Structure 1
Amino acid sequence: MKTDPRTAPTKPRVFRPAFGLLSLSLLAACATTLPQHPHLTRAPAMMLDLPPMKVFSGTVPRQTTRSNASLARDFLDLSFALENGTPLAQMTRFEGPITLRVTGAHPPISLGPDLAALLRRLDQEAGIKITRVSAHSSASITIETLPHGELARRAPNTACIVAPNVSDWGEFKRARRQNLSWTQVDTRTRLAIFIPDDVAPQEIRDCLHEELAQALGPLNDLYRLADSVYNDDNIHSVLTPFDMLMLKVTYAPELQSGMTRAEVAARLPAILKRLHPAGEAVQTPIQSPTPRAWTDHVIDAMSAGPIPARKAAADSAVAIARAQGWDDTRAGFSWFLLGRLALSSDRALAHSALTQAAHIYGAHPETRFHAAHVAMQLSALALAEGQDQAAYEIAARAIPAATEAENAALLASLMLTEAEALDAMGRSGDARALRLDSLGWARYGFGSDAMVRARAAEIAALAP
């Protein structure tokens, strides 16, 4: 089964370490210039005994400020098509009580608390109550954990999957392709989410959020959405207020499975007026459609292919974005991709493209998390070029957004970069405290002690 959204029959979350778990493409791009075993004088001593893993306690999310007319368009586009462009003739959702079970030989320790927190949020923010039952009970939704290698053998380059009409991995492997297609679903009654049990806690949490959102509600992803997990740019790690509103609309009593796009569209204005009254008094500009060619170039740029081909795809995405006159998240992402992929071959282009992405993302509050990802690249680039003050300032400014986004991998990377800059500036005491503080987040973001040490060593090796 292919996991490319252009062809995927089920709904996978594509595993892209460079754009999800690890926000350090500069390190990957510069791998040929870094020593295999960097001779470090600071980081190893600080990491002989790693501190306990840190977890987020939850933040108060900023509510969406979009107009209800805009939200209605988004809901329809998300709910009546698949990622590959296949239209869906009718709306589907669970009708009646929803139950959930967790199975698997080795469920990760972090899964329980993160799942409990997500179920509370779904109840409180989206009005969706999900009852967890024992692993041996039948359930509407099954979350099964399995080794990433096993998942990859069936679905290469996939982090996790949600599939309809099955309740376990064995049934998924035996099922015929058409039985796994969402186009064959009339009402959601049972489905399964498959999550690896041997990856970082953050990756597991991200899978829970994205796949459970897809299991309950819309199946499409839209690159034009700046504040949503329903977007394959993998910027958002946890469900946003926009996502919760989309799920709340999905389960509004005025709607039901089997309704057509026209029937749903007719009822959306009243539903949104009731659920989001603030959206009645604002206007949101209508965004132009996303050309299929742009999406294909972006997918190719994020693929696992050769860097030159990926860079060419990103360059084409930038050209389309400029021709469209975009200044939104799609334009920012085009420049972001080009900047990251140019790092290994054209440092000047990389800096220019990343700066352009930072300018676009920085102009809109809803893309502050995107801007933090760009800041990681620019701060690492500044550190590698000996611009210590700039590296420190860029990283420090982005840390609040990374914290608000609950992205521990990004947060730890920014803190480690800032610490290296502080060390280079002679502020070793501040650097030591910041580095130690970052390691607890790194354990959640990167997982194993070996991965934490490797990331810290790579960042340390950037400094001249």
Structure 2
Amino acid sequence: MRVLRGAVAGLAVAALAACAAPDIRVAAPTRAAAAPVALPPVKVFTASRPQPPQRSNADIARDFLDLHFRLEGGSTLPQFTRFETPITLRVTGTPAPGFNRDLTALLTRLQTEAGIPVRRVSGGAANITIQSVSRAEIRRALPKAACFVVPNVASLSEYRRNRRSPRTNWSLLRSRGKLAVFIPNDVSPQEVRDCLHEELAQAIGPLNDLYRLPDSIFNDDNIHAVLTGFDMLILRATYAPELRTGMSRAEVAARLPAVLARLNPGGARTASQRLPETPRAWIAAYEQALGPQASLRDRLRAANTAAAIARDLGWQDHRRALSHYTLGRMLHVREPELALQHFLTAQTYLQGLPGTRMHQAKLAVQLAAYEIAAGNGGAALARLTPAAAAAAQHENAALLSTLLMLQAEALDLQGRVVEARRVRLDSLGWARYGFGPDWAVEARLEEIAALRPSGS
């Protein structure tokens, strides 16, 4: 399930887009808002360039087992499940514009990168039904979800009738034959695509999410927008001929080393860097900090609790950085200097850490915004250039457009007006995919334009 996150510091963009796009306002506006612009056509990513996993096969085997034999609430599953026949998929409802293009691209990746026999059918029964409905309908069915997947049903109405039935209980699932994925059709194109990736991956693969994974969509931190190289390896291993539905955790564990050695030989030569488990206390605090329902005071208290737990456990990984990044985002309007310290602290834990390019790219937005507000165009560009490359590789249009808008402001500060105009125009096509409606694109453009010091 992709979780609906509320904005933690009052973004002037749609709430769903706020999950994918970082907060950037660090001070009150200092010059007039940007003039309205004619928006170019929507830009889309045409080729995937996933990075192979950078961790050891021993660590990946542990991840595989925890992803397949645990659920997000902490309960365990007694046996391994997957589809044992070629998978058919159909689409119902009213798909959003661009939906078919993104679904076709995803199915192609699943077939070629993960070796999964999945194909779309035009009618009749199917193993997986993707139903496109409004965001409001999804939230009426599951209030905290942006999108979700359910076993043994084929429509939202069927789910409503059976939501408390054992048939829709993931912990009771013993085989996979019929599932439904519910996707919003009235949000930004990127949000639709992100939901497709996450929910379809869980429909055919692991059911769990793990905060300890820095390089995966199987993680409720929403850092990654599309399936990564690690995710495709997990899915390919899920459908390895050595495994089958009904196996116990011990039986799968016994066969995994050979499976991973065959599929990921480089991982056999990589040293283990086993990250500790994520305690429920940290998860609860982090999720309350990001939740849209609690007051700002309660969210701040929760964010400080998460940071304290990470400190007391001695973490040196992306989860500790996330704790400080979250605090920075919540404090940047009321206490910008303290927020900056949290952002810089997060940076110290991410530098040189494998699998965290997207974490660093989102952090670069925050740090570059401070540089622009201070008139330091060169320093901002030094942060933004590698971050934009990471956002493009990971196909995050909302983040890429934000980074390019910031680049344009930094270039203007250096007097590179023609180059700034070209970069800003480029950002708008990506923004239309990432943020959706024109008003959301223009609001983000104006918010970033307000960062630059007056008179510059």
Taking structure 2 as the reference length, the TM-score comes to 0.93
1:194 is matched with which residue?
Answer: 182
- 1:162 maps to 149
Contact 1:297 1:313 in 2 (8 A): yes
Cα deviation for residue 381 of structure 1 reads 2.8
SS where residue 119 of structure 2 aligns?
strand
Distance 1:221 1:54 in 2: 30
Q: Secondary structure at the match of 1:462?
A: coil
Determine the structure 1 residue equivalent to 2:24: 26
| Residue aligning to 1:393 | 382
Deviations 1:409-457 (A, max 9, x none): 0000011112122223332222211111110000110111121111111
* Partner in structure 1 of residue 35 of structure 2: 44
Change (3 A) 1:112 1:17: farther
Q: SS at the partner of 2:187?
A: coil
Counterpart of 2:289, as a letter, is A
Amino acid of the residue matched to residue 17 of structure 2?
A: L
What residue is the counterpart of 1:312 in the other structure?
301
- Alpha-carbon spacing, 1:281–1:446, altered in 2? closer, same or farther (3 Å): same
Q: After superposition, give the CA deviation of every residue in 1:68-101 in whole Å (9 maximum; x if it has no partner).
A: 2111101011111111101111111111121000
**Alignment check: 8 A CA contact 2:24 2:365 kept:** no
- 2:6·2:291 contact (CA, 8 Å) conserved in 1? no
Structure 1: which amino acid aligns with 2:24? L
Q: Separation in 2 of the partners of 1:378 and 1:21?
A: 20
Cα pair 1:115 1:208 within 8 Å, conserved: yes
Structure 2 residue identity aligned to 1:454: A
Q: Distance in 2 between matches of 1:129 and 1:455?
A: 41
Hey, what does 1:3 align to over in structure 2?
A: none
Larger mean Cα displacement after TM superposition, 300-309 or 439-448 = 300-309
Q: Between the two proteins, what is the percent identity of the paired residues?
A: 51
Q: Which amino acid aligns with 2:32?
A: H
Residues 355-370 of structure 1 aligned to structure 2 (within 5 Å)? 355-370=344-359
Length, aligned pairs only? 442
Aligned counterpart in structure 1 of residue 44 of structure 2, from 55, 58, 65: 55
Contact 2:114 2:236 in 1 (8 A): yes
Alpha-carbon distance in 2 for matches of 1:124, 1:218: 19
Q: Is the 8 A contact 2:324 2:345 kept in 1?
A: yes
Give me the whole-angstrom Cα distance separating, in 2, the residues matched to 1:150 and 1:269.
Answer: 43
Equivalent pair of 1:103/1:142 in contact (CA under 8 Å):
yes
Partner of 1:8: none
Equivalent-residue separation in structure 2 for 1:439 and 1:424 (angstroms): 20
Assess if the C-alpha contact under 8 Å between 2:408 and 2:424 holds in 1: yes
Supply the distance in 1 between the matched residues of 2:373 and 2:139 (Cα, whole angstroms). Answer: 35
Instruction: Please show how residues 37-186 of structure 1 align to structure 2 within 5 Å.
Output: 39-40=32-33, 43-45=34-36, 47=37, 49-104=38-93, 106-134=94-122, 136-177=123-164, 178-186=166-174
Which residue pairs with 2:434 in the alignment?
445
SS of 2:356's equivalent? helix
Amino acid at match of 1:292: R
The residue number in structure 2 matching 1:274 is 262
Matched, 1:459 2:454: no
Decide whether the 8 Å contact of 1:25 with 1:377 is kept in 2. Answer: yes
Give me the whole-angstrom Cα distance separating, in 2, the residues matched to 1:444 and 1:98. Answer: 29
Is 1:376 matched up with 2:372? Answer: no
Where relative contact order (Cα < 8 A, 6+ residues apart) is larger, the structure is 2
Indicate whether 1:259 and 2:247 are aligned.
yes
Amino acid at match of 1:293: A
SS at match of 1:138: coil
Take 1:395 and 1:202, find their aligned partners in 2: how far apart are those partners?
21
Aligned to 2:12: none
Q: Which amino acid aligns with 1:195?
A: I
**Unaligned runs of at least 5 residues, structure 1:** 1-11
Relative distance call for 1:322 and 1:52 in structure 2 (3 A) is same
Tell me the C-alpha RMSD between the 2 structures: 1.8
Cα deviation, residue 276, structure 1:
1.7
Give the whole-Å Cα distance in 2 for the aligned partners of 1:265 and 1:58.
Answer: 34
The structure 1 residue matched to 2:280, chosen from 278, 292, 298, is: 292
Superposed displacement of residue 34, structure 1: 4.9
Contact kept? 1:18, 1:24, Cα under 8 Å: no
1:309-341 CA-to-partner distances (Å, cap 9, x unmatched) read: 212211111111112221111111111111111
Deviation at 1:192, TM superposition (A): 0.5
CA shift at 1:18, angstroms? 4.2
- In 2, distance between residues paired with 1:346 and 1:181? 45
- Structure 2 unaligned spans of 5+: 9-15
Contact persistence 1:362–1:368 (CA under 8 A):
no
Does 2:239 align with 1:241?
no
The residue identity in structure 2 corresponding to 1:26 is I
Deviation per residue, 1:285-329 (Å, 9 max, x gap): 222121111111111111112222212211111111112221111
Q: Partner residue of 2:406? A: 417
> Could you tell me whether the CA contact under 8 Å between 2:223 and 2:358 is conserved in 1?
yes
Cα distance between partner residues in 2 of 1:62 and 1:146:
33
